[in-house]
């Protein structure tokens, strides 16, 4: 019985190379490629959109390279938490980890709201049982139940084992890529390159409008370091897969933009509310194919949701293991060997998120986006610090001979943090989004003070408690 009650010493290595690749790609290919393609093309034009994705994707790769090197050098659960702690200590690690948890929580809760919102396109007017109105949007019971039940199912899958969650990720990621290829194939045959005109809209300003969206469409590659300890592959492969996944996402987004641009002319793009689905229907001259693409979008919601439950629960677990969060969050399930309480915490937030209604979509993702780029900043800085502090550290995947890539990552992430500030293109909305960020910051401050105070008292008690050798000396 005693052995049954003991917590496993470590997480199990259950993820294959393909599991890890699909985990990251599925995390990055959420709902955005379905709902935002019209906005890209109307803002920047066809070539302007492609340039924005190419430039933005390269900037993301700079940060990704810092992650790749650190994940291969220190393949431990928690990712950012472990890197920043090793480079700059516990205080910086807490800030970086708490920031990335905000990002992961935002995606998990966002998807719980996105799922019922997307169902509107497949089953119009299915809402029944009026509950209340939030920011001018009516919330219905059936709408809430779709998101909440989805949250319960995904939480259960992750609670009962990582391998099951990884299998779901592989199946749905393959489906997303397959549906995307179908759109590109259809546009290539039945589309018209004349529809790509105008190539540019709004000049540099139009490209910047799309560029601002790009980094947040690529959020998800950072899940790989969270599961590095559970990946059954050499450390160098972890870094390589991370960069491959980002590169694959860049190509996917660019091809989707090209496919939509060829399938829909200027007037159709201006009128559509769901450009990618309408492009699919136009490419095959059938509304059925538009619905198939929406199903691909739903698969994207689930893969993103699933990946961030996995990543978020591992960061929370790592923080608890280091005494930065209550020990309850650091429990590994004795049978399923998952960070079960951290999974339940994220699941509970997702269950209640749909009660906020559709306006919460924008509030949640914007607030979480700031947390993610703050974490990127700390990881890039950790890369620079560790290159100087630990030059002899074994780095199976090395991002260049100097710290240049790290400084580029610092510069890139600083620029995107600035975009969230008042007066900037992606500025957080007052009061809703800033209240979320400030509330999360205060909650983090509470945990930081409480846990440090508890650690201080434990150290005092340990100093006051006589050792075995002292007791023996007194007896003699």
Integer Cα distance of 312 and 227 in angstroms: 10
Contact indicator for 439, 433 with CB cutoff of 8 Å: no
Structural domain contains residue 246:
yes
Q: What is the pLDDT of residue 5?
A: 43
Integer Cα distance of 59 and 84 in angstroms: 21
Summarize pLDDT for 382-399 with one digit per residue, the tens: 999 999 999 999 999 999
Token readout for 459 is 């150290």
Integer Cα distance of 22 and 187 in angstroms: 25
Instruction: Report whether pLDDT(183) > 90.
Output: yes
Summarize pLDDT for 95-111 with one digit per residue, the tens: 999 999 998 998 888 88
CATH of the domain at 466: 1.20.1740.10
Instruction: Report whether pLDDT(358) > 60.
Output: yes
Q: CB-side exposure of 14: number of CA atoms within 13 Å? A: 13
Structural domain contains residue 4:
no
- Give the pLDDT band (50/70/90) at residue 113: confident
Integer Cα distance of 400 and 388 in angstroms: 14
Which DSSP category does 140 fall into?
E
Nearest of 340, 307, 371 to residue 165 by alpha carbon:
307
Per-position DSSP letters for 267-293, written without gaps between them: HHHHH-SSHHHHHHHHHHT-HHHHHHH
Q: Look up the pTM and report it.
A: 0.87
Structural domain contains residue 381:
yes
Q: What is the pLDDT of residue 170?
A: 96
Mean pLDDT computed over every residue of the chain:
87
- Give the pLDDT band (50/70/90) at residue 470: very low
Cα-based distances in Å from 202 to 207, 208, 250:
8, 9, 23
Structural domain contains residue 110:
yes
Q: CB-side exposure of 65: number of CA atoms within 13 Å? A: 21
Nearest of 319, 457, 79 to residue 331 by alpha carbon:
319
Contact indicator for 218, 32 with CB cutoff of 8 Å: no
What b/e readout covers 254-284, taking b as 16+ CB neighbours within 10 angstroms?
Answer: bbbbbbbbbbbbeebbeebebbbbbbbbbbb
Structural domain contains residue 3:
no
Structural domain contains residue 1:
no
Token readout for 257 is 């933009």
Integer Cα distance of 39 and 42 in angstroms: 5
Structural domain contains residue 2:
no
Token readout for 437 is 């960020």
Q: What is the mean pLDDT of residues 275-281?
A: 93
Q: Which of 265-274, 276-285, 326-335 has the lowest mean pLDDT?
A: 265-274
Q: What is the pLDDT of residue 465?
A: 53
Q: What is the mean pLDDT of residues 259-281?
A: 91
- Give the pLDDT band (50/70/90) at residue 469: very low
Q: What is the pLDDT of residue 454?
A: 61
Instruction: Report whether pLDDT(475) > 50.
Output: no
Q: What is the mean pLDDT of residues 203-221?
A: 83
- 3-state secondary structure (DSSP) of residue 400: coil
Integer Cα distance of 31 and 304 in angstroms: 8
Instruction: Report whether pLDDT(118) > 50.
Output: yes
Q: Which of 6-15, 172-181, 274-283 has the lowest mean pLDDT?
A: 6-15
Integer Cα distance of 32 and 15 in angstroms: 27
Nearest of 385, 429, 435 to residue 406 by alpha carbon:
385
Integer Cα distance of 351 and 116 in angstroms: 12
Report residue 426 CA to chain centroid gap. Answer: 18
Q: What is the mean pLDDT of residues 46-67?
A: 91
Q: What is the pLDDT of residue 455?
A: 58
Q: CB-side exposure of 400: number of CA atoms within 13 Å? A: 18
Q: What is the pLDDT of residue 86?
A: 95
Contact indicator for 311, 78 with CB cutoff of 8 Å: no
Summarize pLDDT for 338-351 with one digit per residue, the tens: 999 999 999 999 99
Torsion of CA 94, 98, 100, 105, to 10 degrees: 160
- Which range of residues forms the domain containing residue 327? 11-475
Structural domain contains residue 221:
yes
Say which residues have a Cβ less than 8 Å from residue 101's Cβ, sequence separation at least 6. Answer: 312, 315, 316, 319, 371
Say which residues have a Cβ less than 8 Å from residue 266's Cβ, sequence separation at least 6. Answer: 195, 197, 198
Instruction: Report whether pLDDT(283) > 60.
Output: yes
Report residue 144 CA to chain centroid gap. Answer: 23
Domain count, the chain: 1
Token readout for 218 is 């690529």
Q: What is the mean pLDDT of residues 311-323?
A: 94
């Amino acid at each position: 019985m005693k052995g049954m009650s003991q917590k496993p010493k470590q997480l199990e290595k259950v993820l294959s190379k393909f599991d890890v690749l699909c985990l990251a790609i599925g995390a990055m290919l959420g709902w955005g490629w379905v709902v935002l393609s019209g906005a890209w093309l109307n803002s920047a034009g066809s070539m302007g959109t492609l340039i924005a994705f190419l430039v933005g994707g390269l900037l993301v790769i700079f940060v990704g390279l810092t992650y790749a090197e650190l994940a291969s050098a220190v393949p431990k659960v928690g990712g950012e938490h472990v890197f920043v702690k090793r480079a700059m200590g516990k205080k910086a690690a807490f800030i970086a980890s708490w920031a990335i948890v905000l990002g992961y929580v935002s995606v998990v809760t966002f998807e719980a709201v996105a799922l019922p919102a997307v169902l509107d396109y497949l089953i119009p007017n299915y809402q029944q049982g009026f509950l209340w109105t939030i920011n001018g949007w009516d919330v219905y019971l059936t709408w809430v139940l779709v998101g909440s039940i989805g949250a319960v199912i995904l939480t259960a899958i992750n609670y009962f084992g990582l391998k099951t969650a990884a299998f779901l990720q592989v199946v749905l990621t393959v489906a997303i890529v397959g549906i995307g290829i179908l759109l590109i194939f259809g546009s290539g045959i039945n589309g018209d390159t004349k529809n790509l005109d105008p190539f540019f809209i709004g000049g540099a300003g139009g490209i910047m409008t799309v560029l601002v969206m790009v980094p947040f469409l690529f959020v998800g590659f950072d899940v790989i370091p969270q599961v590095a300890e559970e990946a059954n592959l050499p450390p160098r492969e972890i870094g390589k897969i991370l960069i491959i996944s980002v590169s694959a996402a860049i190509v996917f987004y660019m091809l989707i933009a090209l496919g939509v641009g060829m399938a829909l002319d200027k007037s159709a793009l201006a009128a559509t509310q769901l450009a990618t689905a309408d492009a699919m229907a136009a490419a095959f001259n059938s509304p059925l194919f538009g619905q198939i693409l929406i199903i691909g979008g739903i698969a994207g919601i689930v893969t993103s949701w699933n990946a961030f439950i996995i990543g978020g629960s591992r960061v929370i677990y790592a923080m608890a293991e280091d005494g930065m969060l209550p020990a309850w969050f650091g429990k590994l399930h004795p049978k399923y060997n998952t960070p079960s309480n951290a999974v339940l915490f994220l699941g509970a937030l997702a269950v209640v998120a749909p009660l906020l209604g559709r306006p919460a979509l924008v509030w949640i993702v914007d607030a979480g986006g700031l947390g993610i780029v703050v974490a990127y900043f700390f990881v890039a800085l950790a890369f620079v610090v560790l290159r100087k502090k630990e030059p002899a550290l074994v780095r199976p995947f090395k991002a260049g001979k100097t710290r240049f890539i790290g400084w580029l990552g610092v510069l890139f992430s600083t620029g995107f943090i600035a975009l969230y500030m008042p007066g900037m293109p992606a500025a957080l909305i007052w009061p809703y989004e800033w209240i979320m960020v400030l509330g999360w910051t205060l909650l983090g401050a509470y945990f930081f003070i409480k846990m440090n105070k508890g650690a201080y008292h434990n150290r005092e008690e340990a100093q006051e408690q006589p050792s075995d050798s002292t007791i023996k000396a007194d007896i003699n």
